[in-house]
Amino acid sequence: MKTFALCAIFAAGAIAAVGGMAGSTKTVDRTVPLPATGSVTLDTHNGSIDVHTWDRAEVEIHARIEAASFSTADTRRFDETTVDVTSSSDAVRIVSRYPMSAWWSWLGMNPTIHYTITAPKTARWTIDVHNATAEVHDVRAALKVRMHNGTVHAAGLDGPLEVDAHNGSVTADFVSFHGAELTTHNGSVELRLPSTAAFSLRADTRRALVHSDFPVAIDHWGRRSASLEAAVSGGGPALHFRSHSGQLRLLSKR
């Protein structure tokens, strides 16, 4: 392994509420049509995401909302929290909605929302997460991740990847590599690529690290080693890494 130190609208659907010793819970369940080449956008805080794919021309959404505690402020926030699902002919947008209009919205803690979503395998994805974890399985199209204080793991990826991560970590396992745009601030990205992958690497960084299992033919070192351009296996799709105090790991799947 080589290491380079680079110093430089539809309203939400049916909602069911359940009370119990573990706290209040309610669920949102929706199924909406989406063509195979459509797009899905998810914007959420505080919880988890589990994305799966299938061959159907529809998106199935299940969200479980859990109250933070039994306090009055937390219960009010739980009561006002829901999930908005907006659908058009070629796009689905899913947004976690928390109360922001009343004086008590500044008190207490937001509930957590746990999503399980199944969409067409060739649908494009944009995921915005804050203080959440995400598991993404078998997406055969572009995946864009914007993250703050979270973790994302993508497996079986067969499309271009775009990441903007602040204090988070992303791992992606590729079936084949179609390019990546990676931006991090105190975050890490790990890409697992087929051993036969060929790509063109560019890194523009400050106090960041790049680790590579692949032989790297360096074409250019920038001033104070803050930039790097290199070809892997003769070059191919662009892999661009921009980072401040972050890390990129390029692992070869044997």
pLDDT at 218: 60
pLDDT at 72: 82
Please check the confidence at residue 15 and state whether its pLDDT lies above 80. no
Q: Supply 136's token pair.
A: 């993404």
Q: Supply 37's token pair.
A: 């080449």
pTM (predicted TM-score)? 0.85
pLDDT at 230: 87
Buried b (16+ CB within 10 A) or exposed e, 146-160: bbbebbbebeebbbb
Q: Are strands 15-18 and 25-33 parallel, antiparallel or unpaired?
A: antiparallel
Please check the confidence at residue 80 and state whether its pLDDT lies above 80. yes
pLDDT at 193: 97
As a whole number of angstroms, the distance between CA 99 and CA 81 comes to 6
Q: Residue 230: which H helix or E strand, with range?
A: strand 227-232
pLDDT at 75: 85
As a whole number of angstroms, the distance between CA 28 and CA 19 comes to 15
Please check the confidence at residue 183 and state whether its pLDDT lies above 60. yes
Please check the confidence at residue 222 and state whether its pLDDT lies above 60. no
Percent of the chain exceeding pLDDT 90 equals 60
Average pLDDT over every residue of 171-181: 97
As a whole number of angstroms, the distance between CA 96 and CA 163 comes to 21
Looking from the CA of 51 toward its CB, the CA atoms found within 13 Å total: 29
**For the chain, which residues make up each domain, given as ranges?**
9-121
pLDDT at 101: 56
Please check the confidence at residue 209 and state whether its pLDDT lies above 90. no
Is residue 18 helix, strand or coil?
A: strand
> Given pLDDT bands bounded at 50, 70 and 90, which one contains residue 21?
very low
Q: Which residue has the higher pLDDT, 1 or 166?
A: 166
Neighbouring CB atoms inside 10 A of 223's CB total: 7
As a whole number of angstroms, the distance between CA 36 and CA 62 comes to 20
Do the Cβ atoms of 176 and 158 come closer than 8 Å? yes
> Given pLDDT bands bounded at 50, 70 and 90, which one contains residue 17?
very low
Please check the confidence at residue 232 and state whether its pLDDT lies above 80. yes
Average pLDDT over every residue of 95-121: 82
As a whole number of angstroms, the distance between CA 93 and CA 76 comes to 25
Phi and psi based region of residue 119 (left: phi greater than 0; alpha: psi -120 to 50; beta: remaining): beta
pLDDT at 12: 39
